[in-house]
Structure 1
Amino acid sequence: ALHWLRHSLSSLSVRTFGLMFSCIWDISSWIVASTLTRPRRSNTINHECPEQKCKPGPLDLIFLIDSSRSVRPHEFETMRKLMIDILNSLEIGLDSTRVGVVQYSSQVRSEFSLKTHADLDSVVAGIRRIIPLAQGTMTGLAIRYMMNEAFTVEQGDRPKVPNVAVIVTDGRPQDRVAEVAAEARQRGIEIFAVGVARADMTSLRAMASPPFEDHVFLEESFDLIHQFGLQFQDAFCGLDLCKEMDHGCQHVCENSPGSFHCLCHEGYTLNQDGKTCTGETQVTSRLHCDAEDAGRALQTSKIKKTQSRRLNRINIYRTL
């Protein structure tokens, strides 16, 4: 009887172990299969602006870059990459966004003007050819040059097009900047001030356009400077109102800064309501929707408010 009991327990243990192993194997196989078929979560933040050309309307854009001796070679390369990343998100051309680059230290040197390059590839090539000056930090002198020389008709500036300047510096200016920067802003130049590492916040605020929370950026190191690039792209890409709201266009909705238009396919005419189309002629027409009405539903967006302030301020400057 004892032998029979031992044999039964042994058989039961083997069967139990086999059943447990089979269950564990099935569960493990299910976990592996689920892991392989489940969509993986990415840690990469998807920023749409750098991948798509935004069309904020024509801009005359000048980069004013600090190439003083305190800027190390790898830091200057990061600054170079920042400019290229920003430009990759914009539509570059003589009829859209024009770009010029001025570098400064104890002296000021124009690398190329607003009328030099007609496309993105040539602008990028020009940026890659820049050799740092490696001297002092005369930021005020550089701002005056930008105002009196870079943003002129002779150098490719367009009178009816907004002027935007991006100043990148890593130190404290060795000359006065507040007065000349104020004069530049009064002439309608919108200034973004980007400081890195040793930059002085008071000087950055003295240079930048208001509101400061949208135009002043201070980063701890050049490794973080790309964060400004993303915010700059957001400010100028703005919101796609065609995607964000019910536009009501029968055929095509086309986004533009602060507004949108309804378009008709070839062979149709846009009706007086600005939304529906009639197929009577071979004319493709458009009608602007009211920009303020279109943007009112999205006033809670910081990007929208920033863009509205920028465009309104530029329009005021242009009428002075």
Structure 2
Amino acid sequence: MDPNWSRKMSLGLGDHLDVDSVQVAISQTYYIDGGTNIESGMTKALADVFGNPGDRATVPDIMIVITDGQDFSNVTGAQQVAASRGITVFSVGVGAYVDYNQLVAIAGSTNRAYNATNFDFLDEILADICGNLGGSNSTNSVIAPRLPFSSEIAPKTCVFDVKSGFTKQEFCTARPYCYQIC
């Protein structure tokens, strides 16, 4: 999925049936430099991937979002829709300019938000994600240290509204900086 402006589907779930074919298809995708609209990419995947041909009912639905962390959209709505459909979202930030709060917002949980200083860590991250799917109590410890949480980049106000569709526990999971409420 290309989360930039075009919202172009790069691969569908039923397009490739073996590892070699998937690897070739991935190697032929390209990166469009510029603004990143993760919410748009997530929404496109929710509409065009999950529940469509290739989505096997006996296999857990997961979404892995890999980003440089420099997103300009609000992913909260897309994350809520994914959660309501039973789709587990993992986020992986790569590079020095990752916004950790954004990674947590994408994943909906600190346990599914990963920070890697470079692409060399992706194999370890994938192994940890697979461990999470198997029910392990992973703490992402194999990954480069997480970016420290900074209260300067967190929203200045935290308001829990039951009308938002979040339970208090979900709210606190997505917003660990709201310690006054949580």
TM-score (norm 1): 0.39
Give the match's secondary structure for 1:231.
helix
| Greater per-residue helix proportion | 1
Q: Which residue is 2:129 aligned to?
A: 232
Preserved contact between residue 144 and residue 180 of structure 1 (Cα < 8 Å): yes
Which amino acid is 1:183 matched to? V
* Counterpart code for 1:141: S
Q: CA deviation at 1:192?
A: 0.5
Amino acid at match of 1:167: V
8 Å CA contact 1:195, 1:219 repeated in 2: yes
Task: Count matched residues.
Answer: 137
1:151-186 Cα deviation digits (max 9, x unpaired) = 132x42234432011100002211111121111111
Q: Radius of gyration: which is bigger?
A: 1
| Cα RMSD for the two superposed structures | 2.1
**Does residue 1:216 correspond to 2:103, yes or no?**
no
Show the counterpart of 2:105.
206
Q: CA deviation at 1:217?
A: 0.6
1:141 pairs with one of 40, 57, 77: 40
Kindly indicate whether the alpha-carbon contact (under 8 Å) linking 2:67 and 2:93 is maintained by their aligned counterparts in 1: yes
1:108 and 1:141 in contact (8 A); partners too: yes
Change beyond 3 A, Cα 1:159–1:112: same
The one-letter amino acid paired with 1:109 is K
Structure with the bigger percentage of strand: 1
- Is the contact made by 1:138 and 1:174 (CA closer than 8 Å) also made in structure 2? yes
- Choose the corresponding residue for 1:302, options 134, 137, 146: 137
Equivalent-residue separation in structure 1 for 2:73 and 2:108 (angstroms): 19
Aligned-residue sequence identity (percent) comes to 27
**Equivalent residue, structure 2, for 1:191:** 89
Q: Write the deviation string for residues 251-310 of structure 1: whole angstroms up to 9, x where unpaired.
A: xxxxxxx8xxxxxxxxxxxxxxxxxxxxxxxxxxxxxxxxxxxxxxxxxx635xxxxxxx
Structure-1 residue corresponding to 2:69? 171
Unaligned runs of 5+ in 2: 139-182
Q: Is 1:151 the counterpart of 2:46 in the alignment?
A: no
8 Å Cα contact 2:69-2:100 kept in structure 1: no
Alignment-derived partner of residue 182 in structure 1: 80
Q: Secondary structure at the match of 1:103?
A: coil
What TM-score comes out, normalization by structure 2 length? 0.66
Alpha-carbon distance in structure 2 between the residues aligned to 1:114 and 1:225: 21
Unaligned runs of 5+ residues in structure 1 are 1-101, 239-257, 259-300, 304-320
Say which SS state the counterpart of residue 195 (structure 1) adopts: strand
